[in-house]
Every structure is written in structure tokens, then in C-alpha cells.
Amino acid sequence: MSMDYKKIYEEWLSNPYFDADTKKELESIRDNENEIKERFYADLEFGTAGLRGIIGAGINRMNIYVVRRATQGLANYIKKQGGENKGVAIAYDSRRMSPEFSEEAALCLAANGIKAYRFESLRPTPELSYAVRHLGCIAGINVTASHNPPEYNGYKVYWEDGAQITPPHDTGIMSEVKAITDLSTCKTMDKEEAIKAGLFVTIGKEVDDDYIAELKKLVIHQDCIDKYGKDIKIVYTPLHGTGNIPARRVLKEIGFENVYVVPEQELPDGEFPTVSYPNPEAAEAFELALKLAKEKDADLVLATDPDADRLGVYVKDTKSGEYITLTGNMSGCLLAEYEISQKLATEGSLPEDGALIKTIVTSNLADEIAKGYNIKLIEVLTGFKYIGQQILNFETTGKGTYLFGFEESYGCLIGTHARDKDAIVATMALCEAAAYYKSQGKTLWDAMLDMYEKYGYCIDAIQSVSLKGIEGLAKIQEIMNTLRENTPAKIGKYEVLSARDYKKDTIKNLATGEVTTTGLPNSNVLYYDMSDSAWLCVRPSGTEPKVKFYYGVKGTSLEDAQKLSKELGEEVLAMINKML
């Protein structure tokens, strides 16, 4: 690493292209060598999903100049693909600078002669995915950093099928963005002029109405909602994000009358004042919701993350009176079982080519469900865009019918109106499932236990290590290399039967030494199939400075599986600590 970062820093201070506020912010760090280095040592990487970084001035930060560069690269790629007449849909969330960044992107597209359809105010990610196809766009941009802390923002790119970009478009766009070395060459134009020219169009109500109408078509048991919708009590929190209006609207329109919203978390707020980390996977995100649930004696407690593509769930166990958290694996399997069983019950049969899609780090309970219904199970790399890619493949080949798709991190999709995970439709379906099971005299927790009884007690968990900064990235790489070069023979009490290396595209049978291919695209992920149906998967996070260890076990009862899971978790932690 050279002293170049100082040169770029000085360039930002002297070049008239950069605005006064940017310069003032940069002047204030003049004596902080490390801060200058962190902001200017490299470009904020336009990765496979787009950008995500800390808001601030500098090439390694999220700001209007970095957003403009990303958009100029996207515009150049769209022109090479001959898609400039189709337009681009743009949505944004409740974060700091989201309205500004989304407007900046729209004006850059307009200056390139590409029509931008920008939502009038914040919207959920799945609605953006829907809007891309609904409006016949070539691409979509979503300004969001999902559940990252408040100092972050991000920029995700979608292609015309409504899914986040996958090969070859991701690498194509990445290289166009990389090719822009002089930020001042990125185009922009005056907003009034862009509107006059018909290149800056504001969208809202019409897309909202059509999106909600699509969701309502997916209800299977309206009869059960009509009967029990007024009895079921639901506590909901949008965690200061985009879910509030659409989630409440769809529940109200299908007939749920008792929806209590957590007042302190109802309104959009990019500072996320009630949580340190607005992630429905974190227990603290539910503190206020659970308090309200106890007051109202709620049946289920739901939280959507700030961009409303992921749903966290607690359900009431009537026997103990306790609220039990469902992991993403549990809620995903519960919804898969509900949607597939009820499709079978109401239609009499399932499509011959029906498929359930999951990611490689998602519960093996999904495999058991697929076996139970004799449908195809498709495994894809981590990232919902790969599930979207499968749906596109079904459409283009005419082979394959999408029944359900989900990943362990609380994301699933019912229907194919969107091509990204959709917490609004998941909220609707879970409440519908609660009404249906109530008609059978059961709670959602009873349904979960029935499912374990039917398919086996598969329990899954995750341990992760955060390693920040430049040194952190090197350490993460080192952990991956150590494991890649020394496959463990045993992990805890489990024998490692086979080792998959998705980077080398190999699956090695440890007993015979036989090597086969994974059949999936190249990815820095290691996976161990172990004795007694246990497994472990290691991958660096794509969005945070973390390395994640996913694992699963199968027990003879819920208690047994929980005990085995806890033991394996401790072994995994010990393994990590050895490597640190």
C-alpha cells in the first residue's frame, strides 16, 4: 500500500468538483493519518450485490460521488446491453442519506438518457423487486444497508428479472464501475430539467396497490382468516424501517383486526434509536415487542428488518405461556410445510416438476420436507439472488415450478411476484397459517412440533466472529486458508465424512478419497458433512467483516437436539479460538 491515499485526499480537498460540506468534513480529519488512510486507501468495492459502507467523504465511504460513479458504471453497462429505452426503478429505505443517494442515482441515469422511476418515499426491498418487472425496467437500484448499524448505507443493483444481479451481469457492471477512474466524468443533471424531459418519474400508489393485490392472490385459506382473523392477536414492529405501511395494510385487507404495532419503533428513523443493531436475528430487537405481546396476550410477535425483506418471529406456546423464538430455519420450514401441504390439499396434487429451493447453509429439515412431498430440492449458494436465478431458469426453460424458497437468515419468498426475499408476504402467510392451525385447534408452536415429529428433530445454529479493518480481512482469509489446507477429520464427536470446497469446486469423500464436483459457481465456502446427520459450513460474510460458522444436528427429541446443538456450538467456538 503506497502513500497514494494522501494524494487522493488532497485531490478531494482541492478539486472544485467536490462540494464545500465534503471538504469541510475532510479538513476536520487532516491530523488523523489513520482516518485518512481508512477513507482513501481503496475504492469502496462495488461487489457482487453493489455497495455497502460507512457514510462519509472519501473513496472508501458511501457518499453522492461514490453513488454517482456506481450509477454511471451501471448506465454504461445498460447501454452496452441495449437496454437504455427500458428505464430503471429506484427505491430507498429509512436510513441517513437514503433519499439523497436515490435522487443522485436517478439524476445520473437521467443525464445518461435513461428514464428513472423513483419511489416518492421509502419502500420495502421486495416492492422494488416487484416494480422492476411491473414497469418493464432493465434494472433496479435499492438504496439500503438492510440491518447494518446506523452509520452505514448501501446500494444494491437488480436486473430485469427483478433479482439482484448474478453472473454475467454482476461482473459486467463491476468492471464498468472499475473503469471509471475520474469521478468528475460521471454525469448528472438538474432535477427540474430531468422531470421536464420525462427522465425523472416519481412512482408510488399505483405500484403499491398492484403489489398488495399480488400478495392477496397468494392467500390459500381465506375461510380460516374470515373465521379466526378477529381472534388472533398479532404484535408487529417495523424496527424504524420500511415495513410499517405495507405489512399493516395487507393484514388489515385480508381480515386481521388485532394488529398491535410497537409505538416506539413504528416511525421510520435512520438512527434506529431503540436498538443498537436493527436486526430481527438479534434478541434485543424484540425487547419492546415482547413487552407489548405480554400486555396484549398476543399469539405471535413479528419484526421486519429495516428494508422489510426479512422477518423475525416469536410464537406463543400456550402450554407454558412463554414466547418462543423461531430461527430463520424454523420459520422458513414452517412456512414451506404450510404452503406446500395446503397447495397439495386444495389442488389435490403438486406439480410434477415442483421444487423447494434452499441455500447451502440452510437447514436439512428442508431436504426432509422435499422428500416427504416427493418434490425436487434445489441447493444454491448463499444469497437470495441465487434463488431468484432458479425462478428465472424455470421461466426461460419452461421446466420447473417454484413452490417455495428460503434461506436461514430469515428470508423467504412465497409466489413469484418478486425475485427477492419478501417479509411482507411472509408476514401475511404466517398470520394466515396461524388462522389455519387455529381451525385445527393448534398454535404455530404446535405445528412446529408436529413438523419435527414428522421429519426429525433437525436443529441449526450459527457462530460468527467479527474482525474489523484491514487486518481483520487478512485474518478471515487466514482462517479460510488454514481450514482449506487442513480438513479436520473430526469436529467434536462427529466424524467428517466429506468436505466440500466451493472455491475449488470439489467434494472429497474422506473415507475413499474420491473427488467429485459441487456443480455450483465458485465461492469461498467450505462445508463438512458429518456422521449422525450433522454438518458444518464456514463462509466469510458478504456484507460485514465477519466469518460465519453454520452448523446443524439431528436429535431424537427437541431436548436431545438442543443439547447436541449446544455441544457442537462449543466445539466450533473452541476450533475458532484455536485459529485466532
Query: Tell me, what DSSP letter sits at residue 285?
Result: G
Q: Check if the beta carbon of residue 270 is closer than 8 Å to that of residue 306.
A: no
Helix (H, G, I), strand (E, B) or coil at 315: strand
Cα 287 to chain center, whole Å? 22
Q: Backbone dihedral region of 425: left (phi > 0), alpha (psi from -120 to 50 degrees) or beta?
A: alpha
- Do the first three CATH levels of 42-203 and 457-579 match, i.e. the same topology? no
Within its chain, how far is the Cα of 159 from the centroid? 16
Q: Which CATH architecture has domain 42-203?
A: 3-Layer(aba) Sandwich (3.40)
The per-residue pLDDT for 1 is: 41
Q: What is the pLDDT of residue 47?
A: 84
Q: Where are the domains of the chain?
A: 42-203, 205-455, 457-579
Burial bucket for residue 520 (CB in 10 Å: 0-12, 13-18, 19+)? middle
- Architecture of the 457-579 domain: 2-Layer Sandwich (3.30)
Rg of the chain over all Cα atoms, to the nearest angstrom: 24
List % helix, strand, coil for the chain (3-state, nearest 5): 45, 20, 35
pLDDT along the chain (580 residues), means of 10: 81 96 98 96 89 97 98 98 98 98 98 98 98 98 95 98 95 96 96 98 98 98 97 98 98 98 98 95 96 98 98 96 97 98 98 98 97 98 96 98 97 98 98 98 98 97 88 90 95 97 97 96 96 97 86 97 98 91
Put the strands of the sheet holding 300-304 in their side by side order: 258-261, 233-237, 300-304, 311-317, 322-326
**What gap in Å lies between CA 508 and CA 329, rounded to an integer?**
27
Give me the torsion for CA of 166, 172, 173, 174, rounded to 10°: 90
Q: Cell 448505507 belongs to which residue?
A: 153
pLDDT at residue 3, rounded to an integer:
59
Cβ neighbours of 416 (radius 10 Å): 18
Dihedrals phi, psi of 552, to nearest 5 degrees: -145, 150
Q: What is the pLDDT of residue 542?
A: 73
Q: Environment class of residue 265 by beta-carbon count within 10 Å: exposed (0-12), middle (13-18) or buried (19+)?
A: buried
Question: CATH says 205-455 is which class?
Answer: alpha beta
Q: Report d(CA 117, CA 90) in Å as an integer.
A: 6
Q: How far apart are CA 16 and CA 452, in angstroms?
A: 64
**Strand ranges across the sheet with 116-119:** 50-54, 152-159, 139-143, 88-92, 116-119, 200-203
Choice among 94, 146, 331, 498 that is catalytic: 146
Whether residue 168 is preceded by a cis peptide bond, meaning omega within 30 degrees of 0, is yes
| Residue 531 a catalytic site member | no
Q: What is the pLDDT of residue 512?
A: 97
Contacts of 377 (CB under 8 A, 6+ apart): 355, 356, 357, 358, 366, 367, 370, 371
Cα 300 to Cα 90, 396, 512: the distances in Å are 33, 39, 49
Across the strands, what pairs with 550? 462, 537
What 3-state class would DSSP assign to 351? coil
CA distance 539 to 549: 7
Which residue, among 484, 485, 463, 467, has the nearest Cα to 476 in the 3D structure? Answer: 467
